[in-house]
Each structure stands twice: as structure tokens, then as C-alpha cells.
Amino acid sequence: MQMMIESYFNLHYYGYGMDEFGFDSSDEEMEEEDVKIVEPVKEEVVNREFPFDDEVFYINVKAPRVRVGWDNLPMEILIHIFTFIRPSDRNSAALTCRRWFEALRHPQFLNATCFHFERIEVCDSKSPIQIFLDSFRHFTNIKLTRVQFSGETAFWDYFGAYIREITFDNCALTKPKLCNIVGCLPNLERLNLIDCDELFKCWHPVEFQDMIHCKRLTHLGLRKCSAFNEDHLNYLIAMAPRISSLEISKCLKELDPNQRVHILSHILRILKIHKHQMKSVNFSYTMYDDLFLKQFAEIESMSLSNISLSFFARAPIKDPGIIDILRKHTHLVHLDLTSFLNLTDFALVEIADSMPLLKTLKLNGCWLLTDFGIGEIRKLHKLTILDLSDCDRITDEGFMKAIINKSRTKMRELHLSMLPGISEGMILKICLTLVNLTVVDFCGSNCVNDTSIQYMFSYLRMLRILRLNGCVKISDAGLTGINLDRPAIEIWNEQQTFSLDMLQGLQELQISGCSKVTDLALKTCFKLVELREINLSHCVDITVEGIEAMVLNCPSLEMMDLSDCHLLDDRAIDLISKHLIRLKELKLLRLPLLTAKSVYAILKNCKLLRNINLRGCHKLPRDTTTLLGRLKSLRNMPKY
């Protein structure tokens, strides 16, 4: 049998396309004209299924026959397939064969990988630096947390040319060490300093003679820092002549008002100097007043695409500074005003009227917003991410105007936690309208019950993250579709229900505090192969039987929270440690039945565990901290 594809492709599967002697029926024609072989007519098989389950098949495209399998796919196709799976899955796939490992080394994946070194000593003679010096891979993103720098090391000379982003988080860092490291990174694009007050306290005086210039550095981030002054800022900004992104978040909290005013004024001067190239600013949770916002809005010729602001001080009711900023920057794509306590409906009117390109809008904790302002969101046609959590004055009326009455096929994330004014009927309309949602957050919402989550299972099949913490009305009936008080869909005599396992792409599930969830749900519908993170804390009726069913049907779990599930014992932890080989984070707070057997099961089976919390487990031995210290993968050293 010969299968022709567009008259060019001959597809041969083992013996298909060959005669009984093993020769291809499409080989060269016989040269003897007087000899003719009449083959018997073979009946054509209708609707024959091609056996794709086998691992090997043959493709002949006007060329000699080539053996092709999953390990010999063209590299371009293999890389394209890898883009659809998560990093942890790519790492597992890379262990399959050499070719898949080579695909994982593609720059597209290497550049997206962050190597996090925590609580280590950077020294060539000590692990893990000693191991990394023998590596043939390059690293573009490095994060250092609580790291000690002792003596010279060849790490930065060896890998510095490849590093594009580096983050120092609470490291024992000095100015000479910072300059030495940055000087070895000629292609550095992003520099982040987190909780590095010790660096600034010992950095006196600030001398500019030995300055290192990073020609490609475009982003400077200062987080949780309060000890820097104007000279420190000048030095860091001078290192980045092409700076276009500035982050100063959660800073200046420990300064007195006069010092804070001087620093804020200097930040405005920096923005004025670099106004033509500045595209992104982040001043979230930094202490400033309305005068700072006014002066920020007065900077001419600066066109930002990303702005993140938080505001806690008093602001004038008439003509506040945030209105001037919104009127000025009309090309924003990302706007984060989380915890901007004085934001009013008039600000939302300005946002809707002047920002047609806006894709991300975060208004978490803006409690002054009402239905009037929320209704203006209907003008933002390109919106993909919307966060209205904790805006407790919003009701169905405002949300109906904002979202439901418009076509929102581009919407991907919706965060509506802690909204008492939203009803069950509104959730149905959300499910019918925003069918392409991948992230849904209804934490603490009274409107979420068994019927409303049935709507989610029915219509939101693209969900990847579902957060329902504190939705106490959810029970087994809603998750499984069994014994519902009323079905989700009822047409005449036809009734239809749905279950959680219909969301086969679900990767994160948060149902903390849903105390009506029992083993029945875990046995029936927790069959989610893609599930990576689950939070079942305070689900007090869960037992070992439910845990056993879940770990067998959800093998990809990496993060699990079972705090306050007081019926779980050592057997449950043994099942978790044996079957969840990818487990990286485990929270088991206040489980009174756990003993030393649980600790030894974790030591024996959890080879990838990074974080664990066993506080409140009173039957654990006193040397639990010492025992857990044997785990080489463990990043935090808990004390019990």
C-alpha cells in the first residue's frame, strides 16, 4: 500500500508501502520491457487509522528513506513544542535524550532561566561555585540572596560576558565588590539592589574617579532600601547612561521627613535629566506626598509606557497630583495603582478617556472607587489584565457597565477578591462573556458557591490559575457536580453538571478555608496532570484517603499547603514524599499527628525540596532542624 501526500510525500510505516519481499513499490522501474509482472488488485481499506502511537515511522520526501522518531524531530519543531510547556517540564524532558537536552540549551530558554544562589559563599574552592566553574552552559540572569563574598573568584570573569541581569538581595556587599562584579559584566542590562542598606551605610565617601560605565544598562532597581543618599543615586545613575527604567519601591521608610524630601527632589531631577529616554517608573510603597506627584507630572517631554504608584498620605480633594499624571502620560500600557488610597472616580474617567493603549490596570485596595468610575473601564478595549480586588464599593451595576456589555476576548486575568457587592448572577455573566480567562481570583467573595463554580468549570476551559481562598460556601457538590441542590444547566428535562477535572490545563488551585471540601472531592475530581500548586489549608475534613488519591492523580505537584488539616498523619506525609517527586515547597503547619516518621520520609524521598514549614507540629523530635539540614536542596533552615 502506498500513501501519497500532495503527490510528493511517501509515508511508510514499517512494512507499509513495501511488497511482500521488503522492496519499495515506488523504487526504480524495471528496465526489461518484455517482462511484465501483474500484481493482484488489493482491496482498499476505508477509514484506516494510522498507528501514531508507535515511536518510529519513516518519511520519504523524494529522497532516500530516513529513520525518524521523537528523538530526531527537527530542532526548530522541537524548540517550538518546548515553548508551550513550563520550565520544570522542560527540565524533565531534557533528561530524556541528548537531542532534547540540546533543545533546552537554546538561547530562548537559557535567557528565561534565573539561577538563584541563596546562603552560599562565593569562592572558587567551595560548592556550588566550584561546580559551576566546570559548567559548559552560560547564565543570563543571576540572583544572589544572603551571599557572602570571600576573596577573588573566576566566576565573574568566566560567565560575566553572558549575564544580562543580576540581583543582590540582602548580600554582604561593599562598594569595591559591587564595582568589581559589575565591571566584569560588559553586557549587563538590569541591576537590582534589594535590602542592601549595609552597602550604602559603609559607602562613604562617594568617589566618582573609579566609576564603571555599563553601556547597555537600562534598568536600575532599588527595593527595601532607605540608607542611600543623593551621591549614591548619582553614582548608580551615572553607571547607566542609557537608563530607561527606574524602580525605587518600598524605600525611604526609615528616613526623617527632611531627608525624604531631599531624596525625592533629587529623584525628580534625575527624571528630568533622562526624560527623553525614560519609559518605565516604579515608586510603589515608597513614602511621598502629593507635591511630589505634582512635580512629577510637570516634567515635560517624558512619555512613559509603564507606571507603578502607591499613595498613603493625605491628598487634596480638588485637583490632586495623580490627575495631572494621568493627563500627561497618554501612551501607558501598564498602570499599577495598587493601594492608592486617595484614587477617586475622576481618576478612572481620565484613565478611560486618555489611555487607549492600556492593557494592564491594577486598582487593588482603591476603596474610594464606586460604580460610576468602574463603568468607565468599558472604553479600554485592549485591556487584558484587570485587578479590582478590595474595592468594596463596587456592585453588579458598575461591573456590568465596565466589562459585561463589551466584547472582551482579549481579557486574560481578572482579580475580584474581597468584593461583597458582587452576586452569583454576575459570575455567570463573567463566565459567558470572558471565555478566554486564564487567571481568576475570587478569594473571600461571598458570591462564590457551588453553582457559581459550576459555571466556571463549564465555560472557562482555558483557566490555568483559580484562586478561591476563603470561599466558605464551596463544598464537594460544587467541585464534583454530585448531589447539587440545583444543576448548573437545566433545559426542560435535561440536566447537566460539571466537575473540576474538566479544567485539564489547571496549574494552580487555591481553596484554603473551604472547610466543606472532603475526601470525596479529592477522590472524584482531583485528576489534574498539569496541576503544580495547591492550597488545602484549613480543609479540616481531609484525611489520608483523600491525600492518597490526589497524589496519584496529580503527579506534577510542586507546591503544597496542608496547614491545619489536623486529621493527616505520618502515612499521608509518606504518600506525598513517595509519589510527588517534583515537590519543592511543603507547608505542614499545626498538624498534631506528625512524628519523626514524617521527617525521615521527607529526608528519604524529597530530593528537590527547597522550602518546608513544620511549625506547630508538637510531636516532632527536638532535633528536627538538624535532621532537615541533611537535605542538600533545602534553602531555608527552619527552627522548631
In order, the DSSP letters of 537-565 are TT-TT--HHHHHHHHHH-TT--EEE-TT-
How many residues are present in the chain? 640
Mean pLDDT of the chain: 86
Higher pLDDT pick, 289 / 333 = 333
For the segment 480-500, the average pLDDT, to the nearest whole number, is 83
Comparing 349 with 150, the larger pLDDT belongs to: 349
pLDDT at 95: 86
DSSP annotation of 92: H
Categorize the per-residue pLDDT at 19 as very low, low, confident or very high, splitting at 50, 70 and 90: very low
Residue type, 280: S
pLDDT band of residue 575 (cuts 50, 70, 90) is very high
C-alpha gyration radius of the chain: 30
What pLDDT digit, counting tens, does each position of 531-567 carry?
A: 999 999 999 999 999 999 999 999 999 999 999 999 9
Ramachandran sector of residue 630 (left: φ over 0; alpha: ψ -120 to 50; beta: rest): alpha
Least confident of 383-387, 423-427, 468-472, 534-538: 423-427
CATH of segment(s) 75-107: 1.20.1280
pLDDT of residue 316 exceeding 80, the answer is no
Residue 5: count other Cβ atoms within 10 Å of its Cβ: 10
- pLDDT of res. 11: 34
pLDDT digits (tens, 9 = 90+) for 20-57: 434 444 443 333 444 344 445 444 444 444 444 444 44
Total-model pTM: 0.84
* Domain limits, the chain: 75-107, 114-288, 301-397+413-422
Q: Does domain 114-288 have CATH number 3.30.2130.10?
A: no
Q: What is the pLDDT of residues 92-125, one digit of tens each?
A: 888 888 888 888 888 888 888 888 998 888 888 8
| pLDDT level of residue 388 (50, 70, 90 thresholds) | very high
Q: How confident is the model at residue 235 (pLDDT cuts 50, 70, 90)?
A: very high
- C-alpha dihedral sign at 65, 79, 527, 490: negative
Q: From the CB of residue 569, how many other CB atoms can be counted at a distance below 10 Å? A: 19
430 has a pLDDT exceeding 60? yes
Helix (H) or strand (E) holding 68: strand 66-69
Percentage above 90 pLDDT, the chain = 61
Instruction: Provide the 10 A C-beta neighbour count for residue 126.
Output: 13
Choose between 86 and 359: higher pLDDT.
Answer: 359
Average pLDDT on 363-380 reads 92
Which DSSP string corresponds to 478-498?
Answer: HHH-SS-SS-SEEETTEEE--
pLDDT at 439: 97
Name the DSSP class of 174.
-
